[in-house]
Structure 1
Amino acid sequence: MNNFKRIFSFILPYKKYAYLNIFFNILYALFSTLSFMALIPMMQVLFDQAKRNTIRPTYQGIWELKDFAEAYLSYFITHTTDTLGVGYTLSIMVTVIISIFLLKNVSDYLALFFITFLRNGILRDMRNAMYKKTIELPLAFFSEKRKGDVIARISGDVNEVQASFLSILELAVKEPLTIVFTIIMMLTISPKLTLFVFIFIPVSGYVISLIGKQLKRQSTKAQEEQGVFLSTIEETLGGLKVVKGYNAEQYFNGIFTESTNRFFKLSNSIGNRQNLASPMSEFMGIMVIAILLWYGGSMVLIEKTLNGASFIAYMGLAYNILTPAKAISKASYSIKRGNAAAERVLEILDQQNPITSKKNALQKTNFESVIAIKNINFRYEDENVLKDFSLEVKKGQTVALVGQSGSGKSTIANLLTRFYDVNQGEISIDDTNIKDLDLHSLRALMGLVTQDSILFNDTIKANIALGKLDATDAEVIEALKIANAYEFVTDLPKGIYTNIGDSGNKLSGGQKQRLSIARAVLKNPPIMILDEATSALDTESEKFVQVALENMMQNRTSIVIAHRLSTIQKADVIVVMQKGKIVEQGTHEQLIAQNGTYNKLVTLQSFE
């Protein structure tokens, strides 16, 4: 119930649909009960058991309502039969019964009609909230979680909450009210017989609870397993070239098959437990009805304390309890499954994001003088990646960071953009700590070109315009020209409106990287961060991209993380890093003259 309370905030925008659903469920429960009660006078007429009453009764108050209703009904039957005949009386009663059943089914439809808007509205809002939260969470979160597991939560678990967990709305009104109204009517017919029904409900509930005890734990395991095989799909599709190139299809197929087999066994166990609820509750109900038939039959035939028509209607009412009782048992299982799914959904929604803007964060629209990195320490897990690291980048400078893999170069880019936060020390722009800046405005100051060209399954224009969503075709084309990409784009079938496929797979590596550069150019930020932007390219592509980078870096402050040293010889300052520390810095010529670490790196690459 605690999880349901927390999901309740998603229900509030749709409360009018919830109220309408409750209203029509009340009507359904009422008409469902009346439909059986309406059979009593009809059967009394059929079997000629109706009491004759020629005196019209008078209403004496609510406490005498039952006696008044019985007296008025017998008066109506007597009067109508005497004046218009028994056939007319029967036709009126049949019309009343049909009308009650019609109203019952119309109420049921309208209750379902309105709850459909509520269910689907909650599904949409929860999915939107999950997606919004997912893209807001820091990169560190996804280094611990499988992407497939997150996808499973947004798709499968949210759907389970909508389909299963929200059945509590039906459970709370429709079925219990049907049982309550039915029992009230049964008590009016025979309190003695109704005692047997009170035995059935708690016993049935206890048996069903025993069956469903393990359901929530198994449902959690099944949903986690779904995350595993979705992750396998996502990873193998992303790395299909490697899978095929290493003939590893059988290996990954084995991993996937093992996961789906575990899911198969869990699903069978869960399904079988759920399927047991309905026959178990129905069997227990029939047992009680058998006892009612025996005891009620003796009251009709031997004791003569109950008439036949009332007994038949009573049995109908008793059976009427079975359907909602079965529904409650099924819903209780669904709630256990939904509860497990809700926990997984809420785990994401409740996830704290440590990298956010402060309450009164400063807005900054331009870069004026200097980026200062002061005595920072940073670790991803246990060991420090950067140790007491300090660096100044002045406006208009191109500063290159070089060093062996693992020296901490890319970490600088991650910290400047606040993908991660420093553990100690401070990074400031124009003497303002970046933690005091609004996160959106901080990232608006920076353009980022990464080693992996991250493109989306959309048109060239849509990919480039991410940095400026209202960009015109002319602005996109100008950015493409600066990025040395316009020539190959004009050869494509639809120019800038050509779809480039999943991750831009219709293009070569060099073409993809030039589009990434064009995206950064169009954004036109004052600070540019290039994270090994040419390291994955062949020599010819690198020449095109290097020209594009030089065009882009003109009149900008640039921080270049470089693997190929030939690309950064013109940098104003080259910073040589080793194990998270600066070991050398200066221009290309100065560092060569020092004959130190940088010179060794250049010599090694020259041999290569």
Structure 2
Amino acid sequence: MNYFKKIIKYAIPYKKYGYLNILFNILYAIFSTLSFLVLMPMLKIIFEPNAPKITKKPSYHGLTSAIDFFKNSISYYINNIAGDNKLKALMAVVTLVIITFFLKNLFNYLAMYFITFLRNGALKDIRNDLYKKITELPLSYFSEKRKGDTIARFGTDVVVVKNSFLSILEMVVREPLTILFSIIAMLFISVKLTIFVFIFIPISGYIISIIGKSLKRKSAKVQKEQGLFLSLLEETLTGLKVIKAYNAEESFGNKFKESTHRYYNFSNSLVNRTNLSGPTSEFLGIGVIAVLLLYGGKLVIVDGSLAGDEFITYMTLAYNVLTPAKAISKASYNVKRGNAAAERIIEVLETTNPLKETSNSVEKNDFKTEIKIDYVSFKYDEDYVLKDFSLTIPKGKMVALVGQSGSGKSTIANLLTRFYDVNEGSITIDGVDIKDLKKQSLRQLEGLVTQDSILFNDTVKNNITLGIEGKSDEEIIEAAKIANAHEFIKDLPEGYDTNIGDGGGKLSGGQKQRLSIARAVLKNPPIMILDEATSALDTESEKLVQDALEKMMQNRTSIVIAHRLSTIQKADLIVVMQKGKIVEQGTHEELISKNGTYKKLVEMQSLG
């Protein structure tokens, strides 16, 4: 129930729909009982056509005679309408039955109509909060989680919650009240028969509860396995080119088949256990009805203490109890299943974000003097990637970070943008620790161009203006020209309004990278971070991109993480890194003259 409370808070903004649902469910429960009670006068007319007419308006003599008062009142008014015409009397009763059943179903529809807004509204808000949460969580969270599992929580888990927890809201009022009103009417008709109902319903409920105990565990396995095969699907679509190139279709196919086979087994077990609830509750219900028929038949035929029309009406009311009771038992199964889904949703929503802003975090809209990395140590897992790393980057200077893979270059970019927080030490901009800056403010000061061009399934224009508002077409075109992208963009089928496909799949590597640069140019930040922005390009594309980068870095503070050393020879400072530490630093000429690590790296690339 703990997860139920956490999920149910999403219904609060839509409580007005909940109140309307409750109102119409109360009316439904009342007319559900009345629709069966009005059968008594009709049955009396059919089975006792010569029964004496009620010509005097009945008087109410307390609860014990409530049913007689109800029957006699209807008979009195029908007698006034129909007189001695039995057929007319029957038609009047049938009309009354139709009206009560119509109102019952109308109120049922209105109750479901209003609860739909509540359920779907809560569903929308859960998804929105999940999306907001995953965009706030640090990159480290997703390095440990499968993407498909996260997607499954958005899709299947949220729908399961909607169909379990939120569907209970429909029956919280309707089913219990229907049972309550029906049982009250049954008590008025026959106390003895109703005692039988109270004996058998708890026994039925206990048997049903035994079946449902393992549902949460089974449901959790189903949802976890679905997340796994969705992850495999996502990895397959992302790496399809490599899978085909290495003839790995069968290998991935086998992995997928193993996962779907486990899902098949888990689902069969879950669905079969769930399906057992319906036949079990129905069989137990029929058992109760059978006992009522035996004992009630005895009261009518042998004892004569119960009228035939009352007995038939009583049996319909008993059925009116069993149907919602069955719905409640089914709902209890859904709660157990929904509990597993809710647990997975709440797990994401309640994940603590280690990159929190402090209560006194400040805005910073400009960059004046320097970036200072002061004795920073950082580790992703157990081993430190950086250890006591210090570096000062003055405003307006181009600082290049070079070194072998794994030396910690890209980690510097991750820390400067605060995708991760340092374990020890500090990073300051103009003397202000970046932990004390609002994250949005910090990232507004920085532009990032990575080795992998991250583009989206949208138009060229929308990819360039990502997160940037209020820019004119002229400014967008100017940014594209600086990035050497305008020439190829204007040749696209719809120019800047051309959709570039999933991940920019309709463009070449160089074109994608130049769009990424155009995006950074348009943002126009004072600090530019280039993380191996040309390493994945061919020679011709590299020249175009390098030219674009040089134009972009003019009069700007730049941190360039470089693989190809030919691209950073004009840097004001080149920092050579090895195993998370600085081994050399200086200009290109100074480092060559030192005849150390940097010169060896340059010579290795020249030979290559």
The question of a shared fold, defined as TM-score above 0.5 by the shorter chain, is answered with: yes
Whether contact under 8 Å (1:531, 1:562) holds in the other structure is yes
Residue 531 to residue 299, structure 1, CA distance change in 2 (3 Å): same
Distance 2:158 2:295 in 1: 49
Partner residue in 1 for 2:166: 166
Partner residue in 2 for 1:576: 576
Residue 299 to residue 62, structure 1, CA distance change in 2 (3 Å): closer
SS in 2 for 1:378: strand
Which amino acid counterpart does residue 521 of structure 2 have in structure 1?
V
Partner residue in 2 for 1:332: 332
1:510-534, Cα deviation, whole Å (9 max, x unpaired): 1111111110000000000000001
Whether contact under 8 Å (1:370, 1:429) holds in the other structure is yes
Distance 1:87 1:217 in 2: 60
Distance 1:73 1:538 in 2: 92
1:441-500, Cα deviation, whole Å (9 max, x unpaired): 100000000000000011111000015232221111100110111111121111111111
Q: How far did residue 195 of structure 1 move?
A: 1.2
Distance 1:37 1:163 in 2: 33
Distance 1:9 1:79 in 2: 54
Q: How far did residue 70 of structure 1 move?
A: 4.4
Which amino acid counterpart does residue 332 of structure 2 have in structure 1?
S
Matches within 5 A, 1:286-297: 286-297=286-297
Whether contact under 8 Å (2:445, 2:525) holds in the other structure is yes
1:560-584, Cα deviation, whole Å (9 max, x unpaired): 0001000000000000011000111
Distance 1:246 1:54 in 2: 94
Matched, 1:156 2:156: yes
Partner residue in 1 for 2:370: 370
Partner residue in 2 for 1:282: 282
Distance 1:431 1:581 in 2: 23
Partner residue in 1 for 2:41: 41
Partner residue in 2 for 1:391: 391
Deviates more, 1:420-429 or 1:324-333: 324-333
Partner residue in 1 for 2:55: 54
Whether contact under 8 Å (2:119, 2:167) holds in the other structure is no
Which amino acid counterpart does residue 308 of structure 1 have in structure 2?
G
Matches within 5 A, 1:132-147: 132-147=132-147
Which amino acid counterpart does residue 550 of structure 1 have in structure 2?
E
Matched, 1:94 2:94: yes
SS in 2 for 1:466: coil
Structure 1 gaps of 5+ residues are none
Deviates more, 1:180-189 or 1:159-168: 159-168
Q: How far did residue 64 of structure 1 move?
A: 6.5
1:43-99, Cα deviation, whole Å (9 max, x unpaired): 112222745443323456778655543443454455556x35222221211111000
Distance 1:100 1:240 in 2: 62
Matches within 5 A, 1:269-418: 269-418=269-418
Partner residue in 2 for 1:461: 461
Distance 1:79 1:461 in 2: 79
Distance 2:92 2:540 in 1: 93
Distance 2:61 2:277 in 1: 47
Distance 2:515 2:356 in 1: 29
Distance 1:528 1:167 in 2: 51
Distance 1:80 1:601 in 2: 108
Which amino acid counterpart does residue 292 of structure 1 have in structure 2?
L
Partner residue in 1 for 2:176: 176
Partner residue in 1 for 2:496: 496
SS in 2 for 1:455: coil
Deviates more, 1:233-242 or 1:283-292: 283-292
Distance 1:257 1:139 in 2: 30
Whether contact under 8 Å (1:148, 1:229) holds in the other structure is yes
Distance 1:592 1:51 in 2: 121
1:259-294, Cα deviation, whole Å (9 max, x unpaired): 111111111111111111111111111111111111
Whether contact under 8 Å (2:67, 2:189) holds in the other structure is no
Structure 2 gaps of 5+ residues are none
SS in 2 for 1:461: helix
Partner residue in 2 for 1:427: 427
Distance 1:430 1:462 in 2: 33
Distance 1:185 1:288 in 2: 18
Distance 2:457 2:472 in 1: 20
Partner residue in 2 for 1:233: 233
Which amino acid counterpart does residue 141 of structure 1 have in structure 2?
Y
Whether contact under 8 Å (2:79, 2:89) holds in the other structure is no
SS in 2 for 1:364: coil
**How many positions carry a matched residue from both structures?**
607
Matches within 5 A, 1:196-207: 196-207=196-207
Partner residue in 1 for 2:538: 538
Partner residue in 1 for 2:73: 72
Partner residue in 2 for 1:220: 220
SS in 2 for 1:479: helix
Whether contact under 8 Å (1:467, 1:522) holds in the other structure is no
Whether contact under 8 Å (1:448, 1:531) holds in the other structure is yes
Q: CA RMSD in A?
A: 1.5
Matched, 1:586 2:575: no
Whether contact under 8 Å (1:394, 1:557) holds in the other structure is yes
Matched, 1:607 2:607: yes
Q: How far did residue 156 of structure 1 move?
A: 1.1
Whether contact under 8 Å (1:167, 1:335) holds in the other structure is no
Whether contact under 8 Å (1:21, 1:115) holds in the other structure is yes
Deviates more, 1:555-564 or 1:472-481: 472-481
Distance 1:421 1:151 in 2: 26
